[in-house]
Amino acid sequence: MPAVDFATHLIDALVGMGVREVVLCPGSRSAPLAYAAYAAEQAGRLRLHVRVDERSAAFLALGLAKTSRVPAAVITTSGTAVANLHPAVLEAHHGKVPLIVLSADRPAALRGSGANQTTIQPGIFPGAVRLEADLDETAAPWDVAGEAWRAATGAAGDPGPVHLNICLSEPLVPAQWPMPPAEPSADAPPQDGENTCPTTDLTLGGDRTLVILGDLVDPRIRPAVVDWAARHSLPVIAEPFGEHGPEPGVIPHGPLLLTDQRFLDSFAPQRVLVAGRLTLSRPVTALLRRPGLRVEALADTSAHADPVGVVNAGHELYAVLAAGLRAGTSAGQSAWADAWRDSGVAIAEAVAADPPPWPSGLAVAATLVATLPERAILFTGPSNPVRDIDFGVAQAPAGSTIVASRGLAGIDGCVSTAVGIALCAPGRPAYALLGDLTFLHDSNGLLIGPDEPRPDLTIVVVNDAGGGIFGLLEPGRPPLRKPFERIFGTATGTDLGTLARAHGIPHALVAGPEELTAAIAEPPHGIRIVEVRVERDSHAAAHAHLREVAAAALRDVRPA
């Protein structure tokens, strides 16, 4: 039974490399892999998650790997099942998430023959995978697993998805159950290479240097970057992603501070060090485009991001953190950094005294983050929710972690990703903040069978009846209001409470901040949905209100 034997040895080898989470979708051609994964779970060697929707399954695997940084595997049968993985593979590619795709296939000789459920699966993810292999039962499992592990974890400096397409021939099911255990393979697990001490040529002088912290591949690195910046008196404008600790050097409401042109004209930096990938703020992008500014990237993978086309030099982030810099901090840099921090504090105090009105996305985000319990982990969807946190929250609680899928920043698979992140955070209260369209787009992520591991996850849905983000962008301008509702607003009219009941999931509709605070304070037990309804037009008004509050707080700041 070559198909069953190979599948058993491959799963054994992947577990030997370190895979502990496997997501499985039902299918006939993938049966050998299904039996092998199930047997490994029964032996206590991995945790198996069965899903009926391949797209949601792939995003679940992505969530399982995103914060753990340990490759998770997703198994599908042949045909359209494989194509449904593409959105998650793209997100894993751009977000640098270690993901292993195991797609079962018909024997290669059947390609182009018109055989049922047979298409060209090799190359189905062009340009998006670190490794692709088209295999059959004659391949060496340990070699395959070792290459897949090294490619997914970024042995070459670039973690991401890999695709193992496995041609399996009948018979596809074992002759008996339980299956006999896998015989030891003749292949030896690969040995790790030697570690070398990183070096860097980054120096710090007397110029006004600002750090901008974006989305890091590993959220656990944020505290090290923030601490490094603080030791060199470098003020930090930070996107909200990563693990949060005490962060005295991070400017409260940093993106909001950047909206004040008068402040920037007086306190403009001469140099900006960008750590991670920036995906959120137009004020940050505008700052990077200022004439005469020197921009240097601190890259946490083998290549640095430069979406604005302004980076003058690149450095390896881990080398910068590990090495002592060859210059100290000037008195001028310290005084200038103090002005940035004092201005951020002034804005934070003004916003606390005159907060965004309720109900609004900004008010929901601020209430949620302020109420997060100790060691909470929060996954935030794209569009408005993540920007509301970035713009409207002064600082996340120490010990909390905020993550998002910013590889392509799509609304795909966010419920499933949040479920995966929650499942990999045992003992940590888990939350998600999503818009209604993002939630509905992956409502299949709620399809979890009675025998499957279930997370403790509270999903807060800001329901603005459609695409509220577009009201903050060019399509929302008053001259374009007539076509807006049909082609951008896209209201669905779906009753989220009815949808939740169909899945047997508790749902609560909250009307005020006190109710939301009480709902967040209740420890999650299983999945539950907390819905807050806001008017779509409230987004633009709430953001304008914050900018006015910030400008008023900075009127007394003197030029440098």
- Asked whether the beta carbons of 531 and 439 are under 8 A apart, the reply is no
Pairing assessment for the beta strands 209-213 and 236-238 based on DSSP bridges: parallel
**Confidence (pLDDT) at 325:** 56
**Confidence (pLDDT) at 194:** 43
Numbers of helices and strands, H then E, in the chain: 20, 18
Q: Is the bond into 269 cis (omega within 30 degrees of 0)?
A: no
**Confidence (pLDDT) at 469:** 82
Instruction: Tell me the one-letter amino acid at 361.
Output: G
Residue whose entry in the numeric block shows the structure tokens 């930096």: 269
**Confidence (pLDDT) at 189:** 52
**Confidence (pLDDT) at 262:** 92
Instruction: Point out the residues of the chain with pLDDT beneath 50.
Output: 186, 188, 190-197
Give the count of alpha carbons within 13 A of 333, CB side only: 22
Q: Is the bond into 171 cis (omega within 30 degrees of 0)?
A: yes
432: enclosing H helix or E strand: strand 430-435
Residue range 474-505, pLDDT digits in tens: 888 888 888 988 889 889 999 999 999 999 99
- Asked whether the beta carbons of 384 and 462 are under 8 A apart, the reply is yes
Show the tokens assigned to 424. Answer: 């990999």
**Confidence (pLDDT) at 307:** 81
Give the count of alpha carbons within 13 A of 475, CB side only: 13
- Asked whether the beta carbons of 188 and 16 are under 8 A apart, the reply is no
Residue range 262-320, pLDDT digits in tens: 999 999 999 999 999 999 989 999 999 999 999 999 999 988 888 888 999 999 999 99
User: Nearest Cα to 255, choosing from 272, 238, 268, 270?
Assistant: 238
Kindly state the DSSP code that residue 524 receives in the 8-state scheme: P
With b for 16 or more beta-carbon neighbours within 10 A and e for fewer, the 279-308 pattern comes to: bbbebbeebbeeeebebbbbbbbeebbbee
Quote helix, strand, coil % in the chain, to nearest 5. Answer: 40, 15, 45
Strand partners, 30: none
End-to-end alpha carbon distance in the chain: 77
- Please state, in angstroms and rounded to a whole number, the distance separating the CA atoms of residues 272 and 372: 32
- Please state, in angstroms and rounded to a whole number, the distance separating the CA atoms of residues 188 and 142: 7
- Asked whether the beta carbons of 172 and 295 are under 8 A apart, the reply is no
Secondary structure in 3-state letters for 113-144: CCCCCCCCCCCCCCCCCCEEEEECCCCCHHHH
Beta strand residue intervals within 317-394, DSSP E = 377-380
Max Cα distance, the chain (Å):
81
Contacts of 59 (CB under 8 A, 6+ apart): 87, 88, 91, 412, 413, 414, 416, 417, 420, 442, 445
- Please state, in angstroms and rounded to a whole number, the distance separating the CA atoms of residues 61 and 509: 30
